[in-house]
A and B are shown apart, each in its own frame.
Chain A
Amino acid sequence: MREHVSGQYDAELDELRAMVTEMGGLVERQLSAVCEGLATWNADPAEPVIALDKAVNRLEVRIDDACTHIIAKRQPTASDLRLVMSIVKAITDLERIGDETTRIAKMLETLCALPPLRDPLPELTEMMTRVQSMLADALNAFVRVDEARALDVITRDRSVDRAYQALVERLLGEMEAHPAQLRSYHNVIWCARSFERIGDHAKNVGEYIIYLARGQDVRHQGLGAPSDR
């Protein structure tokens, strides 16, 4: 992309992109920490995840503010306008991912105070791996305005949803079989629910990137659904 005649405008947009990258990095750290905690049945990561959420929230406010100023002062058009609009939207989803990780962190603390579960939960492991890579790819696609990668993130959300359904089925069976561990299973379902939401948010970010790249709004069009090409 060529530079603006106004170097200051370029600097403001660069600063904006840098803040989004920073916010994305914090949310990625939160997500990987809770996944680590769940995989190892260890509540240590919970507290830092909760603490990080404050930084994420502060960044959301700062980025929103920067976007408002750019709109007021620069009247961005075309790709610049799409960049600002997609950032305004994307940071809402990133902030929600932060909230979901905080929620998982709190459940992790509860879970680790209970007796450990007897069997491994492969569907949960699959969900954690998938949403982490979806978030990482969405953030990378944003930095590079990589339409193909964004589309890939969107289509991968389906498999997270499927893993979630399968996990819920399995846990319902486990609950019947081992009612003594009902509390634990219940908490795991809530964690899985949060991972499923994180997948949705990463998918949304992918949709904004496609809007950013080609000016086309692909939301609510069943992109990534099985019927889709």
Chain B
Amino acid sequence: MRNEPPTLHFEPADRCLTVDRLSVRYQGKAALRDVSLTVPRHRVTAFIGPSGCGKSTLLRSFNRMNDLIRGVEVTGRIQLFEDDILAPELDVTALRRRVGMVFQQPNPFPMSVFDNVAYGLRLQGLREQRALEGEVEWALRSAALWDEVKDRLDASALTLSGGQQQRLVIARAIAVRPEVLLLDEPASALDPISTLKIEELIGKLAEQYSIVVVTHNMQQAARVSHYTAFLYLGELVEFSGTDDLFTRPQARQTEDYITGRYG
């Protein structure tokens, strides 16, 4: 038995996602081993670690994206507030409304800016134009994109720049007012200024959403997150406050990784 990794504990009212001894195997090969941690509510939590450490697998467990992979076995428990989200009878579509996700490559639908943001709302049955307009404007404002697109809401979303597309995708994700926002390398395909805009946005969104970010960019994790988990070879090595993790990590492996001594 290995020792319990350094971790953080939160009051029940501050817990958003509670992961208890989660293990994930892809066709028999372990991707996550016995991971336990709590993602706090209305905070930004970053997962860092080298490729293959399991950080994306962990992120994708939160909206059951891993279900789409053939031969996946999941054991352990994940609660979203009170709800067991690994329960077989769970309505996965309803879960994904509560847990929104944004990917590395901006993936706007080939339709207008407006329709992109209205997409999820229409799926939820919102038809009234005035109400839709109000919600779309709110989402675009929340994603810090409104001023740039308000005069071309009918233009194709594909005419936007990469950074604008990514903020559009974030607007689309938050339009349905999820509880959690999962961001998988949200800025790694963007230029430095667009990256800073996304980071600024993440900070603002944390006032209303619980956010989990997976990133290869350690400095980005340091800038945007309140808490950081370091994963290595499918195991949680350390989960600490971001300020502590980057100035005085408790685990030797964390120290080696964040100082660039990981070989």
With a cutoff of 8 Å between Cβ atoms, the chain B residues found around residue A81 in the complex are 246-247
With a cutoff of 8 Å between Cβ atoms, the chain A residues found around residue B218 in the complex are 77
With a cutoff of 8 Å between Cβ atoms, the chain A residues found around residue B248 in the complex are 78, 82, 214-216
Asked if B261 lies at the interface with its beta carbon under 8 angstroms from chain A, I say yes
- A79 and B259 contact, CB distance less than 8 A: yes
With a cutoff of 8 Å between Cβ atoms, the chain B residues found around residue A2 in the complex are 256, 261, 263
**Contact residue among A1, A9, A214 (Cβ-Cβ distance under 8 Å from B260):** A9
Asked if A72 lies at the interface with its beta carbon under 8 angstroms from chain B, I say no
**Residues 212 to 239 of chain B near chain A (Cβ within 8 Å):** 218-219, 222
Kindly provide the distance from the CB of A175 to the nearest chain B CB, expressed in whole angstroms.
51
**Contact residue among B219, B258, B263 (Cβ-Cβ distance under 8 Å from A78):** B258
Task: Please measure, in the bound complex, the distance between the C-alpha atom of A5 and the C-alpha atom of B260, giving whole angstroms.
Answer: 6
| Closest A residue, CB atoms, query B261 | A2
- B219 and A4 contact, CB distance less than 8 A: no
| Closest A residue, CB atoms, query B254 | A78
Known contacts A81-B247, A215-B247: does B259 contact A76 (CB below 8 Å)? yes
With a cutoff of 8 Å between Cβ atoms, the chain B residues found around residue A77 in the complex are 218, 222, 246-247, 258-259
Asked if A80 lies at the interface with its beta carbon under 8 angstroms from chain B, I say yes
With a cutoff of 8 Å between Cβ atoms, the chain A residues found around residue B262 in the complex are 5
With a cutoff of 8 Å between Cβ atoms, the chain A residues found around residue B260 in the complex are 4-6, 9
Asked if B249 lies at the interface with its beta carbon under 8 angstroms from chain A, I say yes
With a cutoff of 8 Å between Cβ atoms, the chain B residues found around residue A214 in the complex are 248
Asked if A75 lies at the interface with its beta carbon under 8 angstroms from chain B, I say yes
With a cutoff of 8 Å between Cβ atoms, the chain B residues found around residue A169 in the complex are none
Task: Please measure, in the bound complex, the distance between the C-alpha atom of A216 and the C-alpha atom of B246, giving whole angstroms.
Answer: 14
With a cutoff of 8 Å between Cβ atoms, the chain B residues found around residue A216 in the complex are 248
Kindly provide the distance from the CB of A180 to the nearest chain B CB, expressed in whole angstroms.
59
Q: Contact flags (1/0) for A1-26 with B, using CB distance below 8 Å?
A: 11111100100000000000000000
Number of interface residues of B (CB under 8 A): 16
Task: Please measure, in the bound complex, the distance between the C-alpha atom of A195 and the C-alpha atom of B257, giving whole angstroms.
Answer: 43
Most chain B CB inside 10 Å of its own CB: which residue of A78, A80, A81: A78
Asked if B255 lies at the interface with its beta carbon under 8 angstroms from chain A, I say yes
Known contacts A81-B247, A82-B247: does B258 contact A75 (CB below 8 Å)? no
With a cutoff of 8 Å between Cβ atoms, the chain B residues found around residue A9 in the complex are 260
Q: Contact flags (1/0) for A63-88 with B, using CB distance below 8 Å?
A: 00000000000011111111000000
**Contact residue among A5, A75, A82 (Cβ-Cβ distance under 8 Å from B261):** A5
Task: Please measure, in the bound complex, the distance between the C-alpha atom of A1 and the C-alpha atom of B255, giving whole angstroms.
Answer: 10
Kindly provide the distance from the CB of B238 to the nearest chain A CB, expressed in whole angstroms.
11
Known contacts A77-B218, A78-B248: does B259 contact A3 (CB below 8 Å)? no
| Closest A residue, CB atoms, query B263 | A5
- A80 and B247 contact, CB distance less than 8 A: no
With a cutoff of 8 Å between Cβ atoms, the chain B residues found around residue A76 in the complex are 259
Kindly provide the distance from the CB of A15 to the nearest chain B CB, expressed in whole angstroms.
17
Task: Please measure, in the bound complex, the distance between the C-alpha atom of A78 and the C-alpha atom of B256, giving whole angstroms.
Answer: 9
Known contacts A5-B260, A6-B260, A215-B248: does B219 contact A79 (CB below 8 Å)? no
Task: Please measure, in the bound complex, the distance between the C-alpha atom of A76 and the C-alpha atom of B259, giving whole angstroms.
Answer: 7
With a cutoff of 8 Å between Cβ atoms, the chain A residues found around residue B261 in the complex are 1-5
**Contact residue among A5, A6, A75, A79 (Cβ-Cβ distance under 8 Å from B255):** A79
Kindly provide the distance from the CB of B211 to the nearest chain A CB, expressed in whole angstroms.
22
- A80 and B259 contact, CB distance less than 8 A: yes
Task: Please measure, in the bound complex, the distance between the C-alpha atom of A1 and the C-alpha atom of B259, giving whole angstroms.
Answer: 11
| Closest B residue, CB atoms, query A76 | B259
Task: Please measure, in the bound complex, the distance between the C-alpha atom of A3 and the C-alpha atom of B219, giving whole angstroms.
Answer: 20
| Closest B residue, CB atoms, query A74 | B260
Task: Please measure, in the bound complex, the distance between the C-alpha atom of A191 and the C-alpha atom of B254, giving whole angstroms.
Answer: 48
Kindly provide the distance from the CB of A85 to the nearest chain B CB, expressed in whole angstroms.
9
Most chain B CB inside 10 Å of its own CB: which residue of A5, A9, A77: A77
Task: Please measure, in the bound complex, the distance between the C-alpha atom of A79 and the C-alpha atom of B246, giving whole angstroms.
Answer: 9
Kindly provide the distance from the CB of B258 to the nearest chain A CB, expressed in whole angstroms.
5
Give 22 CB contacts A-B under 8 Å. A2-B256, A2-B263, A4-B261, A5-B262, A6-B260, A75-B219, A77-B222, A77-B258, A77-B259, A78-B246, A78-B248, A78-B249, A78-B254, A78-B259, A79-B255, A79-B259, A80-B259, A81-B246, A82-B248, A214-B248, A215-B247, A215-B248
